Amino acid sequence: METKVFSIKGEELRTITLNDDVFNREVSDGSIYHAVNNELANRRVGTACTKTRGEVNYSNSKPYKQKGTGNARAGDKKSPIWVGGGTIFGPKPRDYSYTLPKKMKRLAMKSLLSLSVLEDRLAVVEDFTIETGKTRELSGILQNFVKDNKRTVLILKDDDVMMRRAARNIPYLRVLSYNRLSAKELLYGRTLLMLESAATNLNEFYGDKQGV
């Protein structure tokens, strides 16, 4: 398939050919679901911790005698049914992360890129950089493509340090490299801006040579 390439001023320059297997394939909702869940799970810290009755720092003495009070039997104040006692089946530190199969992750990324084309959210822009690293310059370029400061994803051909520096103070912008995409950002981004060289790299990186 072919799509337009825009200048940084928002003007049409030429067309570029995009790989149909990457940008124009059937969308797999299931793979997208699993990829987003995997990213969210891998970000979880998992440090929540509660104390059981054996870990609570409290008295070990019997609160009152076994018989004759009319109360239920009680061994110590660390019982979970007492205020200040331990917690039953409470959370403990754990690792929530897991590995998603490579083929499923690749399918999810290609589905998300195809979905952005299907929903007319993708725009290919000529290669540019912000040599000064100033937010004002990048913001001026984005105004030609983004309306109402909607959530935007900018896909680069490599890890451009100055571009990332310029993007740090733009709250609605996320910057990704073509080989380190995020399923969550691609799904929720209302506008996807892709540098021309990044589009060329994606044609090869997610091409059908990998068998997916």
- Is residue 22 in some structural domain? yes
Sheet holding 122-125, edge to edge: 12-17, 2-6, 122-125, 191-195, 152-156, 173-177
First to last CA, the chain: 19
Burial letters 69-94, b for 16+ CB under 10 A, else e: eeeeeeeebbbeeeeebbeeeeeeee
- Is residue 35 in some structural domain? no
Per-residue pLDDT tens listing for the chain (212 residues) = 889 999 999 898 899 999 999 999 999 999 999 999 999 999 999 999 999 999 999 888 899 999 999 999 999 999 999 988 999 999 999 999 999 999 999 999 999 999 999 999 999 999 999 988 899 999 999 999 988 888 999 999 988 899 999 999 999 999 999 999 999 999 999 999 999 999 999 999 988 754 55
- Is residue 94 in some structural domain? no
- Is residue 38 in some structural domain? no
- Is residue 13 in some structural domain? yes
Please count the CA atoms within 13 angstroms of the CA of 164 that sit on its side-chain side.
9
Q: Which phi and psi angles does 155 have, rounded to 5°?
A: -105, 120
Enclosing domain of residue 118: 2-27+104-210
CATH number at residue 131: 3.40.1370.10
Q: What is the number of domains present in the chain?
A: 1
